[in-house]
C-alpha cells in the first residue's frame, strides 16, 4: 500500500512536537465525525476519567475507520476538542497505542468550554486517506 508522505519540519517552521506539520496523501478521503467516550450501547465510559475516555474515543475512531475500509495507518489529521488541556497527556497516551511516533498525523488541539454533555471530557475527529489501487504518493 502506498503510504502518505510526511513533512515534519518545513523550512522556516519550528520543529513539531507530538504531530506533523504537513501530511500529503493521494487516495480516497475518509472523514470521521467527532467521537465521544460512548460504548456500543451509548453509555459513557470513564466519568471524570480522561484516560478511560481517551481509550474509548480511540476505540470508536478505530471502529469508524474500519467501517470505511481504513485504519489508523491512513489517518492524516486528528482534531482534538478537550474541556481542559490537562487531559492532553491522556489523549497522547491513548493515541500512541494506535499511531506510532514515526507516523504522527497533522493535528490541532482546541480547549472548548463544553461538549454536548458536561460529562464528556473530549471529542476527537479524524481525516484519513486510503490509497487507491492505482494511486501514487504525492
Between 69 and 1, where is the model more confident?
Answer: 69
CATH of the domain at 121: 3.30.1330.40
Is the CB of residue 92 less than 8 Å from the CB of residue 107? no
- Domain range for 124: 18-130
The mean per-residue pLDDT over the stretch 53-65 comes to 98
Which ranges constitute the DSSP H helices of 27-103? 50-67, 88-96
Q: Is residue 6 part of a domain?
A: no
Query: Would the pLDDT of 1 be above 50?
Result: no
Q: Is residue 135 part of a domain?
A: no
Q: Is residue 97 part of a domain?
A: yes
How many domains does one find in the chain? 1
Query: Would the pLDDT of 136 be above 50?
Result: no
Q: Binning pLDDT at 50, 70 and 90, where does residue 85 land? A: very high
Q: What is the mean pLDDT of the chain?
A: 91
Q: Is residue 11 part of a domain?
A: no
Q: Is residue 1 part of a domain?
A: no
Amino acid at each position: 500500500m502506498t503510504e502518505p508522505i510526511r513533512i515534519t519540519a518545513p523550512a522556516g517552521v519550528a520543529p513539531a512536537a507530538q504531530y506533523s506539520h504537513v501530511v500529503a496523501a493521494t487516495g480516497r478521503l475518509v472523514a470521521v465525525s467527532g467521537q465521544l467516550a460512548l460504548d456500543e450501547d451509548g453509555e459513557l465510559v470513564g466519568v471524570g476519567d480522561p484516560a478511560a475516555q481517551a481509550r474509548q474515543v480511540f476505540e470508536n475512531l478505530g471502529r469508524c475507520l474500519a467501517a470505511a475500509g481504513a485504519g489508523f495507518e491512513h489517518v492524516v489529521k486528528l482534531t482534538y476538542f478537550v474541556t481542559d488541556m490537562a487531559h492532553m497527556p491522556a489523549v497522547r497516551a491513548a493515541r500512541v497505542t494506535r499511531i506510532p511516533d514515526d507516523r504522527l498525523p497533522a493535528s490541532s488541539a482546541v480547549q472548548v468550554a463544553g461538549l454536548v454533555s458536561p460529562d464528556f471530557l473530549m471529542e476527537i475527529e479524524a481525516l484519513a486517506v486510503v490509497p487507491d489501487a492505482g494511486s501514487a504518493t504525492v
